[in-house]
Amino acid sequence: MTCGIDWAEDHHDVAVVDQDARLLGKLRIGDDAAGFQDLLRLLADHGDSPDKPIPIAIETSRGLLVACLRASGRRVYAINPMAVARYRDRHVVSGKKSDHQDAVLANILRTDAELHRPLPDDSDLARAIAVLARAQQDAVWDRTRAHNRLRSHLREYYPAILEAFADKRERLLAREARAILAIAPTPAEAARLTRSRLRAAVTRAGRQRRIETETDSLLEVLRRPRLRQPSLVEKAMGQQTRALLAQLETACRACDELAHDTEELFLQHPDAEIITSFPGLAVLTGARILAEIGDDRTRFATARDLKAYAGSAPVTRESGKSRRVSHRRIKNSRLAAAGRHWAFAALTASLGAHSHYNRRREAGDRYHAALRNLFNRLIGQLHHCLTTRQKFDEAVAFAPPALPSLATAA
């Protein structure tokens, strides 16, 4: 028996089929506790038991229904909607959609269950870390978008503030920049700033050294003659800056709070010590890595499977006499993004990683390809260390190639 669930926001359509594709039961349930009990009764009526639960296919991996199904010990398969559409094309070439989605999902498991992965059996701690790590990563992306919107707006009427922080690594994300924009959102207000008020803003932003020098430098830049918008337009643009600045402040605060919560929870996980032993993997980046690979060691049987999931391993496409090797575009984008940060940080944290990167560059790889190759090696080593429960060892991970013996050379 296999079961398919056509998921929706307020209700779900359920179908159970046997090995001959005969529809044994069909039911529409609500997205509540009563609906879940109706689903369990339908499954029990068709042979579901704790020893042999009926596998379930659904088009999402999130939500209360999926969480309850996983807690009941059943194998739950999250089927990509594109795969469902391709499966329908195997049987109907006209493009009609008269068959029910739930029956299609059940038949996918009946015929091709070995081609799909069930949802991993991660611990509750790993899943909680995944929630926080992904939320923090989303907050970082939101912060970047808010920063870019504010910067684009300031270029139209307030280039002085951009020039004042052009040499700062954080640019407008710096606390000093946000503190000055809060008290002087227009060039006119910036020109009227007194030295004492500007000094107070710099101090309030957290600067502890070279306060006087920084204050003088900012005053000189802000008071320099520049092109200006009409006063009424400039005032209106300053009001828009306040609104954009409020969004940026909210995004920055969310990033900091979620980062703290993520790191605190990640350090409670038994895999944290192994993950952070790798060069370039700080606590937050390590939490992002764990959030995407989970702690179910049966999920990736080999390092090759994990590399393909991360998108670091190349993919080969052959047709006739043509053969092309390229990087993977279908991958876990969050894991790939964390991997880029990891590989870049490892260049300065590990001599072996830096040497590996240089060899790839000398072999003809471009920057991103060499970095991806380094991540491919590191993620494979991480799989090995997590499987064998050992920490990273630089001497073993990047051992020099063995020199040929005299007999071999002769």
Looking from the CA of 165 toward its CB, the CA atoms found within 13 Å total 20
Q: Angle at the Cα of 106 (from 101 to 110), degrees rounded to 5? A: 145
Q: Is 266 in a helix, a strand, or coil? A: helix
Q: How far apart are CA 378 and CA 380, in angstroms?
A: 5
Looking from the CA of 394 toward its CB, the CA atoms found within 13 Å total 13
* Burial status of residue 229 (CB atoms within 10 A of its CB: 0-12, 13-18, 19 or more): middle
Q: Which residue has the tokens 């996980």?
A: 269
Q: How far apart are CA 100 and CA 112, in angstroms?
A: 18
Q: Which two tokens stand for residue 88?
A: 């329908």
Q: Which residue has the tokens 């959609």?
A: 97
What angle, rounded to 10 degrees, do the helices at 101-112 and 81-89 form? Answer: 80
For 113-127, letters b (16+ CB in 10 Å) and e give eeeeebbbebeebbe
Per-state percent for the chain, helix, strand, coil, to nearest 5: 60, 10, 30
Residue 76: strand pairing partners:
56
pLDDT (mean) for 206-224: 90
In this predicted structure, the answer to whether residue 53 has a pLDDT above a threshold of 70 is yes
On average, the pLDDT of the chain sits at 89
Kindly indicate the confidence band of residue 409, based on its pLDDT and cuts at 50, 70 and 90: very low
Q: How far apart are CA 239 and CA 233, in angstroms?
A: 10
Q: How far apart are CA 116 and CA 187, in angstroms?
A: 59
Q: How many other C-beta atoms lie within 10 A of the C-beta of residue 382?
A: 25
Asked if 160 and 171 touch (Cβ cutoff 8 Å), the reply is: no
Kindly indicate the confidence band of residue 393, based on its pLDDT and cuts at 50, 70 and 90: very high
Q: Are strands 11-17 and 2-7 parallel, antiparallel or unpaired?
A: antiparallel
Q: In Å, how far are 169, 181, 200, 217, 218 from 213, measured between CA atoms?
A: 18, 19, 13, 6, 9
In this predicted structure, the answer to whether residue 235 has a pLDDT above a threshold of 50 is yes
Give percent above pLDDT 70 in the chain. Answer: 95
Looking from the CA of 86 toward its CB, the CA atoms found within 13 Å total 6
Q: Which of 129-138, 141-150, 202-211, 259-268 has the lowest mean pLDDT?
A: 202-211
Q: Angle at the Cα of 32 (from 31 to 34), degrees rounded to 5? A: 120
Q: Which two tokens stand for residue 334?
A: 């969050």
pLDDT digits (tens, 9 = 90+) for 67-110: 998 888 888 999 888 888 888 777 666 555 544 666 888 888 88
Q: What pLDDT is attached to residue 89?
A: 74
Q: Angle at the Cα of 67 (from 140 to 272), degrees rounded to 5? A: 50
pLDDT digits (tens, 9 = 90+) for 314-325: 888 777 777 777
Amino acid sitting at position 182: A
Q: Is 59 in a helix, a strand, or coil? A: coil
Q: How far apart are CA 289 and CA 310, in angstroms?
A: 10
Which is more confidently placed, 134 or 70? Answer: 134
- Distance between first and last Cα of the chain: 66
Amino acid sitting at position 405: S
